[in-house]
Amino acid sequence: MPKPDPDEPNAFPFPAPPPSIQLTPLFGSASSEHIRTLHSLYASQVATIVWTMEAEHAVDALPRRRVIVGIALKNRSGSDDGSSKLTEDERAVFHGVMRTIQGMLTRS
């Protein structure tokens, strides 16, 4: 397990998405490069968290299953400045969502 950040000792870093991850949009397209980056970031990190936690809590040596993630993110007005960089607010929301998902999977 990764070591915690010294600035946030109770928060562990998220697992890195594997290089073999495939992101395939099924419906529609993002309105901008920024939104596409945000959608991709959420989908890849959720899939990685589910995939790694499933392996950590496996009782026997069953083959690992594929993880399919569907997301729908509401566009926030004024959130797209044309840059693909994430704002501090977007980062905070992202980390909160990922920690919530980790917590839900840990309890189940």
Q: Please check the confidence at residue 12 and state whether its pLDDT lies above 80.
A: no
3-state secondary structure of 39: helix
| Predicted pLDDT at 77 | 60
Q: What average pLDDT does the chain have? A: 78
Q: Most confidently modeled of 5-19, 36-50, 57-71?
A: 36-50
Question: How many other β-carbons are positioned within 10 Å of the β-carbon of residue 62?
Answer: 9
9/1 Cα distance (integer angstroms) = 14
34/85 Cα distance (integer angstroms) = 7
Backbone angles phi, psi at 8, to 5 degrees: -135, 80
* Structure confidence by residue, pLDDT tens digits, 70-104: 877 666 665 556 666 778 888 888 999 999 998 88
Q: Please check the confidence at residue 55 and state whether its pLDDT lies above 80.
A: no
Cα dist from 34 to 30, 37, 74, 85, 96, whole Å? 8, 5, 13, 7, 20
Q: Which residue has the higher pLDDT, 101 or 11?
A: 101
% the chain with pLDDT above 70: 71
Q: Please check the confidence at residue 11 and state whether its pLDDT lies above 90.
A: no
pTM listed for this prediction: 0.72
Backbone angles phi, psi at 88, to 5 degrees: -60, -40
Backbone angles phi, psi at 69, to 5 degrees: -120, 130
